[in-house]
Structure 1
Amino acid sequence: MNLYTFARGLVKSILSPLYRIEVKGLEHFPKDGGVLLCANHIDNLDPPVVGISAPRPVSFMAKEELFNVPVLGKLLPDLRAFPVKRGMSDREALRKGLKVLKQGDVLGLFPEGTRSKTGQIGKGLAGAGFFALRSEAYVVPCAIIGPYKPFRKLKVVFGPPIPMDSIREERLNAEKTTEIIMKHIEDLIHANQ
């Protein structure tokens, strides 16, 4: 058993009962092929919660500073995380993200780039649109509906893949594509509150 599988099982055994996590929409999640999984961002626990809720292993970009934290920094690569420099265009992180998708794996992203302090969905960054347009991956919206309060229900909802063919045909840019992705996430939140 690898570290990812072990950690996923351990984290699930703690977080699922603590936050009474309800997962919906698993039938929408592609069984194979590259998946760009885009979720809203409301709490520091979002990455592990999405990771234990998704039916397939998920790779996440993590802020570069976390890789300098003793012990954690050594574990992150085995937990499928890779570093991204915040506040600038990080070509290496973009290359690594595309590689994950082209290998047919799942890349998890929080397009807002930072947590929403209000719980309201914020503006997404162009990175999500970049990955969606530059790969052949399925783009799956995901809504995390809180709050993160012990023993109160937390929902993780996966929506159907966003039809990317028409977006690619219209030659929309990365910003516009991210807006469409964010709208799908917002619609999922409203439909499941």
Structure 2
Amino acid sequence: MTFYSFAKSVLLGVLKPIYRFEVIGRENLPKSGGVLLCTNHIHNFDPIVAGINAPRPVHFMAKEELFNVPILGKLVPHLNAFPVKRGMSDREALRKGLSVLKEGHVFGLFPEGTRSKTGELGKGLAGAGFFALRTDAEIVPCAIIGPYKAFKRLKVVYGKPIDMKAHRERKATAEETTEIIMNEIRKLINEYR
């Protein structure tokens, strides 16, 4: 058993009774190949919740500062996270994200770039569109629908993959592509809220 699998089991065991996860559409995540999992961002636990409820291991970018925290900094890389410098274009993080997708893994991304202060879906940044257009990965929208309150149901909805073929062929911009992804996340939130 890998450390990731062990940590996933422990976290599921601890968090499932508290947040009573209702997971919808887990079968929409392709069983193999690169997948860009794009999720709304309402809480610090979102990467954990999206990751432990997914049927495959998920890789995430994590703010560089986490890798400098004693103990946690040593664990984070074993949880499939890699560092990103926030507030600037981090070419190394972009290369690593592309590599994760091209190697056929699941890459979890929060297109908004930061947590929503209101809980409402914010504007997506061009990064999601960049990864969607630069690879042949399947793009799967995901909605986490709260609130994060003890013993209240927390929904995790994995949507059907978004067909990107036409957008890639017409060379859509990263911004347009991100907006397409955000609209699919918005639809999931509105349908399952």
TM-score by length of structure 2 reads 0.99
Code of the residue aligned with 2:122 in structure 1: it is: G
Percent identity, please: 68
Measured after TM superposition, the shift of residue 121 of structure 1 is: 0.2
Deviation sequence 1:115-158 (CA, Å, 0-9, x none): 00111100011110000000110000000000000000000000
Residue 133 (structure 1) aligns with: 133
Alignment of 1:14-163 (within 5 A): 14-163=14-163
2-side partners of 1:90 and 1:97: how far apart?
11
Gaps of 5+ in 1: none
Gaps of 5+ in 2: none
2-side partners of 1:27 and 1:114: how far apart?
27
2-side partners of 1:106 and 1:27: how far apart?
14
**RMSD after superposition:** 0.6
Measured after TM superposition, the shift of residue 164 of structure 1 is: 0.4
Residue 10 (structure 2) aligns with: 10
2-side partners of 1:10 and 1:26: how far apart?
20
Code of the residue aligned with 1:30 in structure 2: it is: P
2-side partners of 1:54 and 1:136: how far apart?
20
Residue 167 (structure 1) aligns with: 167
